[in-house]
Structure 1
């Protein structure tokens, strides 16, 4: 199958972000003082479990970021022609979910449509009944008697296959840790099971087991059933939920890239130079904070919409048009959300500039640029890291709210917000269509919850106050353990003979 690679604006920024994260990880691994806090993140059981879930979401998002245009048949025999439809690598993998479109609504694991239709019989006469689905449970001759059994067998087989891959993953992890520590394989496996390792691998393994079992069952079922039902136009809701992950990740990560330059530059500059520079920057972010963010976002989105409608020749595909609107949404969210981090950095810089080593650098004639880059910036990076990680979940929710009110992503872009907006009208019909809202809420809840738990682990590892408190608690616990041992051991007086 020939294809033409397509790199959208958000794809390029995601690739740049991945490269930057790889370089950052390489730099952190080479410096022990930078690597130590991340080791403390790994000592959190909830953080490791949340990281496992986030890795699952990130893999789906990256697969959905590699775009291409497949070739179409060209009867003229000339130059190869490519489709105007832009597909991602995830779309290619999930082709059955994407192409198996029903007529309209169908409930999860259903074999019939959700609404009655008038059926005309060959011999004359009409009846109103639920028609069979074109793809869902189409392999069953008698769904009333075979449906439950077939679903149970397929789910058990898929879950068992996922459990098999989980066993291979845990065995590989135990073998790797055993080789590093020089212990036996079985003893390391037992240590992982008991949670006796420095990093709580048991929490990550339990989370991975749940993910692999559910993924195995879903893969075994989604080829023959619509496991989360279909929407008004018959598209699979499970496919839409997985496609929404990429939009949420793009909003959460690229908005941070847009926000950091403003917050770092203005916050550190205001706190370090003070005076009229501080007054101007305070006036700037106070004015920006006083304007409702929804109005700015709506104005920017409308201007982008007008530009795209007046320049249709710049967009050769629908995907490029929707991608530009997504990019501008990330930009405007970044422009309107840097004020909070700017305030924090300004306050921290005001405190740092009065420290003795900063005053000594001034006395030795060190330039302002060197002081800012070597002394101020490294000492505020823990605030930047904690704030950005904790703001990720808020940005995902912001996209859902903006798309719900109609000023978010393009309607052709699948996201949690567009799914919730469509489900709003479906909840009012009779009979009620509830599975679209439940699917969007469940996936968004899992993404936001895992991001919050991982953010808590990062905050506890990088916050100096938490580190000091944990050190005091650890010293107190060691002291309490040593006191009974000291009381139980006999003391020898001068001149006494050992027994």
Structure 2
């Protein structure tokens, strides 16, 4: 086995490392802890965080890659160098295709939970050519004297019983753990988990994870024998493609956001602090960038990247490495062309902060401008950076879908929601219409973008000073706050 480390794999795992560091950093600050408790006090935000955590876990499972070793050729020397397959696998591939045993590829389209192909095929029967719907190769196999509805309902009932029992055992174990940590009885611990006293903020997240667990158990039983979302034009399982597209959405949303921050923070604070000619030059730069349609600017950049990759094909050995390099460069391009909005906000806030007494005192004491921006300005604008960053994540995910739809997004060989939507463009004009490819990408996009927006809304209300000021009188009337 030969490990394959892709650039975006590093980004995904660095994101996890940053989240772990952020948790420890927040726990050391009482003010930050209070603000984040206010975020998770919202049931919608806690449930959204659980959903985003499941998507991140899926992306991480798809961010561990390797190439299997090929068997030695007949007559090869014992010390001959090992040869490796050109196919790059990930943990998600192995789990879904090998461990879970998801239904394999078919010849062409098939409906969700179908037993036969979607289109008629010419076959020879009794010496005559007949066009008929052929049974699927790897899915839709029914036991004798059992219909499709009965078979799916039977597996759904088994999954509900198995998932429900294991979920109840999990909640009991959680109750015992809480009782041990808080030194109380099991009954009182279950009342705490039920949030009867308003001190247990994770109940919505746990309920959401319970729903995901029931869905996971259902897929364990149903997916090996059925194509849950059907198959596409070349017979690939649509649900598998949607699961593979999660990593693309998470990586491009994260990397593009990170690529935005250096330009927006540096130039925005510098424009607001120095004013004068520095402000004029920076305003001219981001006004010029904003005046160019972003799709055209990104399309031109992607075409240059495409030429660059074609001339440097020795940098990668497999098609996945090439597609991943294009994905990383696309995310960087989106970030470098999308920093103007955050820079404007930071410029305005820096202008206001630079007139306050503590900044004036620092100037009088002879502190250098860069030290003032680092010690006094930057910490006081971080709430804007956090709010805009969280809000922009979902927008960038949708932006990738739009770019891939118009043909300037990720590499066609890489799974993404945009390529699925692009493929569905021609499928919707068929008669009869192929709708399940678009439906799968729509469901997964909504499941990712909607929780991100709900979580971003809670973060904005908790960290925006104006929102905090409005909620302060209400907190004084009702001082009980979750912990």
Larger radius of gyration: 1
Deviations 1:269-295 (A, max 9, x none): 111111111111111101110011111
Deviations 1:36-59 (A, max 9, x none): 211211211110010111111110
Distance 2:336 2:160 in 1: 45
Deviations 1:222-257 (A, max 9, x none): 111111100010000010010110000011100011
Task: State the match for 2:106 in structure 1.
Answer: 102
Judged with a 3 Å threshold, the aligned counterparts in structure 2 of structure 1 residues 345 and 45 are, in CA distance, closer, same or farther, namely same
Tell me the CA shift for residue 17 of structure 1. 2.8
After TM superposition, the score normalised by the length of structure 1 is 0.91
* 1:128 and 2:126 aligned: no
Task: State the match for 2:304 in structure 1.
Answer: 303
Judged with a 3 Å threshold, the aligned counterparts in structure 2 of structure 1 residues 468 and 181 are, in CA distance, closer, same or farther, namely farther
Q: Is the 8 A contact 1:51 1:454 kept in 2?
A: yes
Tell me the CA shift for residue 342 of structure 1. 0.3
Deviations 1:92-140 (A, max 9, x none): 111156771101011111111011112212x322332211101112353
Distance 2:26 2:478 in 1: 31
After TM superposition, the score normalised by the length of structure 2 is 0.94
Query: After alignment, is 326-335 or 195-204 more displaced?
Result: 195-204
Q: Is the 8 A contact 1:266 1:281 kept in 2?
A: yes
Deviations 1:408-446 (A, max 9, x none): 000000000000000111111111111110000000001
**In the TM superposition, what are the counterparts of 1:261-340 in structure 2 within 5 Å?**
261-340=262-341
Task: State the match for 1:38 in structure 2.
Answer: 36
Task: State the match for 1:394 in structure 2.
Answer: 395
* 1:418 and 2:422 aligned: no
Q: Is the 8 A contact 2:103 2:227 kept in 1?
A: no
Q: Is the 8 A contact 1:259 1:337 kept in 2?
A: yes
Distance 1:171 1:285 in 2: 56
**In the TM superposition, what are the counterparts of 1:137-152 in structure 2 within 5 Å?**
137-138=140-141, 140-141=143-144, 145-152=146-153
Tell me the CA shift for residue 165 of structure 1. 3.4
Q: Is the 8 A contact 2:39 2:459 kept in 1?
A: yes
Q: Is the 8 A contact 1:304 1:328 kept in 2?
A: yes
Task: State the match for 2:90 in structure 1.
Answer: 88
Distance 1:452 1:382 in 2: 17
Distance 1:436 1:157 in 2: 28
Match of 1:115 among 107, 114, 119: 119
Distance 1:177 1:384 in 2: 36
**In the TM superposition, what are the counterparts of 1:8-23 in structure 2 within 5 Å?**
8-23=6-21
| Secondary structure of the structure 1 residue equivalent to 2:231 | coil
For these two proteins, the number of residue pairs brought into alignment is 473
Distance 2:340 2:14 in 1: 25
Deviations 1:423-481 (A, max 9, x none): 11111111111111000000000100010111111111111222222221233468xxx
**In the TM superposition, what are the counterparts of 1:206-225 in structure 2 within 5 Å?**
206-225=207-226
Judged with a 3 Å threshold, the aligned counterparts in structure 2 of structure 1 residues 72 and 164 are, in CA distance, closer, same or farther, namely farther
Q: Is the 8 A contact 1:43 1:198 kept in 2?
A: no
Distance 1:26 1:46 in 2: 24
Task: State the match for 2:458 in structure 1.
Answer: 457
In structure 1, runs of 5+ residues without a counterpart are 479-499
Judged with a 3 Å threshold, the aligned counterparts in structure 2 of structure 1 residues 134 and 321 are, in CA distance, closer, same or farther, namely same
* 1:67 and 2:68 aligned: no
Distance 1:62 1:296 in 2: 31
Tell me the CA shift for residue 70 of structure 1. 1.1
Q: Is the 8 A contact 2:47 2:204 kept in 1?
A: yes
Distance 2:403 2:268 in 1: 28
Judged with a 3 Å threshold, the aligned counterparts in structure 2 of structure 1 residues 129 and 309 are, in CA distance, closer, same or farther, namely same
